Amino acid sequence: MRVLGVDPGLTRCGVGVVEGVAGRPLTMRGVGVVRTPADAELGDRLVAIERGIEQWLDEHRPDCVAVERVFAQHNVRTVMGTAQASAVAMLCAARRGLPVALHTPSEVKAAVSGSGRADKAQVGAMVTRLLRLDAPPKPADAADALALAICHIWRAPALNRLQQAHAAAARTPRVPRTAAVPVRKVPR
């Protein structure tokens, strides 16, 4: 499986491609950052992110795209930019018919480091170790994108089984429950 991980952001949108299957050594196929100038108009920044992601999709031909799930932050402006960049990544994938998986930051941290509270340095160190790199990818957005791809490769088999179980349950006819009738003991 080849996964494009996307760590969304308006100024720096981390992208990384990892190939492999759960339980086997993984291989990094590419890592980088799509950058936009902070003083550019929002629409221009989103178009630049789209072009950057499209270029990565063209070059690496992933099987799916893993995007960091946007979570609430204290800075509304930051979360809006992150959400907009995230939507662009999902749109690019959907346009090509690629499945998109969303993973929370704590899921990603737990998958690569064993702790959902790992800091950026710990995530970078584990990505370096797991992909057998000489040094942690810089900036941290790039390492985070690789961590997203790793997380998805490792979680995908379980997620697929869960989806199949839900689909099978939806196809199974439901037997209506009847109200239980209390049994009264009759004196002898």
Catalytic site positions: 7, 68, 141
- Which residues, 6+ apart, have CB-to-CB distance to 69 below 8 Å? 86, 102, 103, 104, 105
- Which residues, 6+ apart, have CB-to-CB distance to 63 below 8 Å? 1, 2, 3, 98, 99
Peptide bond preceding 62 in cis form (omega within 30 of 0)? no
Two tokens at 70?
Answer: 């946007």
Q: Apex CA 102: angle with CA 34 and CA 165, to 5°? A: 150
Is 172 strand, coil or helix?
Answer: coil
Residue pair 84/123 in contact by the 8 Å Cβ criterion: no
DSSP string, 5-49: EEE--SSEEEEEEEE--TTS--EEEEEEEEE--TTS-HHHHHHHH
| Rounded Cα gap, residues 65 and 179, in angstroms | 47
